[in-house]
Structure 1
Amino acid sequence: MFPESVLRTKRLILRPFDTSDIPDTHASCADPLTQRWLPLPRPYTLDNATNWCTATADALRDNGDGIQFAVTDARTKRLMGQVGLKKTDWRTLVSEVGYWVSPWARGHGVATEATRAVARWLLADQQFQRLELRAATENTASQKVALKAGFHREGTLRNAGFVHGGRVDLVLFSMLPGDLASSA
């Protein structure tokens, strides 16, 4: 399992979720744009947010699946989104990154900055060999984040994802340790 960690960038603090994140997690995950691209419970209730912030996020780290970070503004401490690792393969040292951004934080580079921070932590500090990112082919905003964060587009995984609207094709991106220098 990954060590419980706090990551810092110029503008952001990435830390474990706690009870103070419940209201903003609820508002973010109930948002129609977040719901469009992520198969979250619908409707996303306050109980869903409470469970995520107090149990599920920690359980995913404890069972070795990955690690989830609350992305917060370093100045105000307000939740700006989430970035996390999932589907971690400890034998091959490969993991997948995913994220969502709160409606009030969109368009300010939060996802790119947080994803880049997690990539550096995983590939440099944790010495993983590959980080993958998957985005629905129609989710152009998420694909832009991948490219701005320094990921390389590898191809399309046909019918590999699901959203509330049904099955979708996914674009596969990857980052390797040698890519870190070019993603600064």
Structure 2
Amino acid sequence: MADLHRQNEHGSRNRTRFPTQPTPSAPAPELRGHGLRLRPWDAECDTDVETWLRGNSDPEFRRWNTPVKLVDGMEDARESLRLRAEWDAEGKCVSYCVTDAATGAPLGHIGVNDIDHFIRTARVGYWVLPEARGHGVATRALRLAARWAFTNLGTHRLELGHALGHDASCRIAERCGFLYEGTLRGAMFDAGRHDAFRDVHLHARLATDPEPGEGEGKGE
């Protein structure tokens, strides 16, 4: 991969230049569908900050995810959301608060992360609040975000990685057309630790892959 990047950097001046949507200063558009409204997070809104804190401090979230910096209070949550807003503005990621389209109630989060505008790849990640689980929220949100990334962001490949043993995420990936591609050894932190690692299941979907069926099934 390093050789490929080096080749891209020093290749012909006439190489194809891919679109870089959204532009660094353009906020991500709201997305609607499947009974959901995906809207940008607001780091200055206390309700959003509280929701972010609840999601990131939930025991089930921490069972499967170990951020570099844990979110343990309102100030941590606000700082974390402000950092994501900076990344969004720089075009590095797009972060959505997943809400119920009818009531506006927050349900969870979905992000299109690690956006590489040259090679047109990105990674998706999500979580669902405890009270919203079991209603297909993650599946519906992932379908919305993936469709937008392929049709509006110009992405060619979307990756989805989850800790080995996280069967719910495996099922969500499969329902959304993300094929299992293999196991990455020691590719993420172990639960609650920064000195130990665990394996990751890698799933991916290409813009040229067929659209998955609309049956939502159960689960997150």
TM-score, normalised by the number of residues in structure 2? 0.78
Rg (Cα) greater in structure = 2
Give the Å deviation of 1:183. 4.6
- Assess if the C-alpha contact under 8 Å between 2:112 and 2:122 holds in 1: yes
Q: Which residue in the other structure is 2:202 paired with?
A: 172
Give the Å deviation of 1:173. 0.5
The answer to whether structure 1 residue 7 and structure 2 residue 34 are counterparts is no
Q: Distance in 2 between matches of 1:123 and 1:90?
A: 12
Q: Distance in 2 between matches of 1:29 and 1:22?
A: 11
Unaligned runs of 5+ in 2: 1-20, 215-220
Give the Å deviation of 1:43. 5.7
- Assess if the C-alpha contact under 8 Å between 1:70 and 1:82 holds in 2: yes
- Assess if the C-alpha contact under 8 Å between 1:98 and 1:133 holds in 2: yes
Give the Å deviation of 1:125. 2.0
Amino acid at match of 1:10: H
Give the Å deviation of 1:63. 2.2
Aligned pair partner of 1:36 in 63, 74, 83: 63
- Assess if the C-alpha contact under 8 Å between 1:116 and 1:183 holds in 2: no
Backbone CA RMSD of aligned residues: 1.6
Instruction: State the SS of the aligned residue for 1:169.
Output: strand
More helix by share: 1
Aligned pair partner of 1:138 in 161, 165, 170: 165
Give the Å deviation of 1:106. 0.9
- Assess if the C-alpha contact under 8 Å between 2:96 and 2:110 holds in 1: yes
Aligned pair partner of 1:17 in 41, 55, 58: 41
More strand by share: 1
The answer to whether structure 1 residue 156 and structure 2 residue 183 are counterparts is yes
- Assess if the C-alpha contact under 8 Å between 1:120 and 1:180 holds in 2: no
Q: Which residue in the other structure is 2:118 paired with?
A: 91
Q: Distance in 2 between matches of 1:155 and 1:46?
A: 37
Give the Å deviation of 1:50. 2.0
- More displaced 10-residue stretch of structure 1: 112-121 or 25-34: 25-34
The answer to whether structure 1 residue 112 and structure 2 residue 144 are counterparts is no
- Assess if the C-alpha contact under 8 Å between 1:15 and 1:71 holds in 2: yes
